[in-house]
């Protein structure tokens, strides 16, 4: 079981998973604060959603760079 988990995290990349999970959390916070019409720590709902968007872009760029480096190493 431990070997399976290690293979998953090493293959997937902890940074990619973490940015996706944190992005999901920020998106949920943004939706909840928008529905309740409140702010948390001075952040408006659009701020939370922009933070989520930035993390999603980072996740996409990380995956793209991993694919590029893999393809370049095959040459």
* Per-residue pLDDT at 11: 61
What is the per-residue pLDDT across 22-63, written as a single tens digit (0 to 9) for each?
999 999 999 999 999 998 888 899 999 999 999 999 888 888
Range of the domain at 59: 2-73
* Per-residue pLDDT at 66: 78
Tell me whether residue 30 is exposed, middle or buried, using C-beta atoms within 10 angstroms of its C-beta: 0 to 12, 13 to 18, 19 or more: buried
* Per-residue pLDDT at 28: 95
* Per-residue pLDDT at 25: 94
Q: How far apart are CA 14 and CA 5, in angstroms?
A: 12
Q: How many domains does the chain have?
A: 1
Q: Which residue did the predictor score with more confidence, 72 or 49?
A: 49
Q: How far apart are CA 63 and CA 57, in angstroms?
A: 10
């Amino acid at each position: 079981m431990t070997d399976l988990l290690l293979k998953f995290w090493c293959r997937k990349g902890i940074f990619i998973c973490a940015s996706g999970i944190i992005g999901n959390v920020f998106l949920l916070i943004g939706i909840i604060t928008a529905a309740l019409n409140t702010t948390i720590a001075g952040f408006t709902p659009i701020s939370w959603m922009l933070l989520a968007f930035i993390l999603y872009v980072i996740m996409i760029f990380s995956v793209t760079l991993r694919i590029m480096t893999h393809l370049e190493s095959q040459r």
